[in-house]
């Protein structure tokens, strides 16, 4: 991470985002989600698929995976959040988890979060390249 900082990437807080491993924390981000009930992409289902709600002014339905950082928008009430996530980000390690993060050993969790941090660095570098 020091090398990342020296490359102009700034400081990375390793613990940043750890709360998002908990589904209830992801659900809480969907307070303004346009599809609350009577549809397939409810806040609970979106959070179960790893998404957090991060609306933009012109895109109120933007959801981003907290792990692979894939953003999706243009949701329809009949969309299956897990299927959409798998379709657009099939290599997301969050989708392949065999047990809840709370039940992992510390070593298992740190290895998993190492992958999330790699994704964050790649995502940040890609976004900076667009500017």
Q: What is the pLDDT of residues 54-110, one digit of tens each?
A: 998 889 999 999 999 999 999 999 999 999 999 999 999 999 998 888 899 999 999
Say if residue 56 is exposed, middle or buried (CB neighbours under 10 Å; 0-12, 13-18, 19+).
exposed
Higher pLDDT, 3 or 11: 11
- Domains of the chain (ranges plus CATH)? 2-126 (1.10.1170.10)
pLDDT at 14: 47
Q: What is the pTM of this model?
A: 0.81
Q: How does 60-78 read in b/e, with b if 16+ C-beta sit within 10 Å?
A: ebbbbbbbbbbbbeebeee
pLDDT at 10: 53
**Mean pLDDT throughout 31-39?**
88
């Amino acid at each position: 991470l020091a090398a990342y900082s020296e490359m102009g990437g700034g400081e990375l807080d390793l613990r940043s985002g750890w709360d998002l491993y908990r589904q209830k924390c992801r659900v809480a981000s969907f307070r303004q989600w346009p599809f609350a009930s009577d549809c397939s992409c409810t806040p609970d289902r979106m959070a179960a698929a790893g998404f957090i709600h991060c609306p933009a002014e012109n895109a109120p339905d933007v959801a981003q995976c907290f792990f692979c950082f894939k953003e999706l928008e243009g949701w329809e009430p009949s969309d299956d959040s897990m299927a959409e996530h798998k379709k657009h980000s099939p290599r997301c390690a969050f989708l392949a988890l065999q047990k809840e993060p709370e039940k992992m050993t510390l070593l298992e969790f740190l290895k998993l979060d190492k992958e999330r941090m790699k994704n964050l660095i790649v995502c940040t570098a890609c976004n900076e390249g667009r500017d």
